[in-house]
Amino acid sequence: NRSKISLQDVSYLFKYASIKMIVAVTNTGSVNYIVKTDKYNRLGAMKLFYDALEQLKKARNLKERQDATDKFLNNCYQYGMLFEMH
């Protein structure tokens, strides 16, 4: 996955309030993470998440599945979630 963090990974942030950050380390050593900030808006983030899931369900190929995940990761900042790739 181009985005390195999956929607399944993100779902743990919603399922468990005590989880504040998810980190993924790729085979090449790059580190990617998503974290809840002080401005975290659970309801807004969950709506964006479910919109991305709907797009994922309609995806017909790998690129469309990646686009669905990227939709969430590229917009989650609006709801107090920070996604970064290093």
pLDDT in tens, the chain (86 residues): 455 899 999 999 999 999 999 999 888 888 999 999 999 999 999 999 999 999 999 999 999 999 999 999 999 999 999 999 98
pLDDT at 32: 93
pLDDT at 3: 53
83 and 76 Cβ atoms separated by less than 8 Å? yes
How far CA 32 is from CA of 4, 28, 55, 75, in Å, comes to: 7, 12, 23, 16
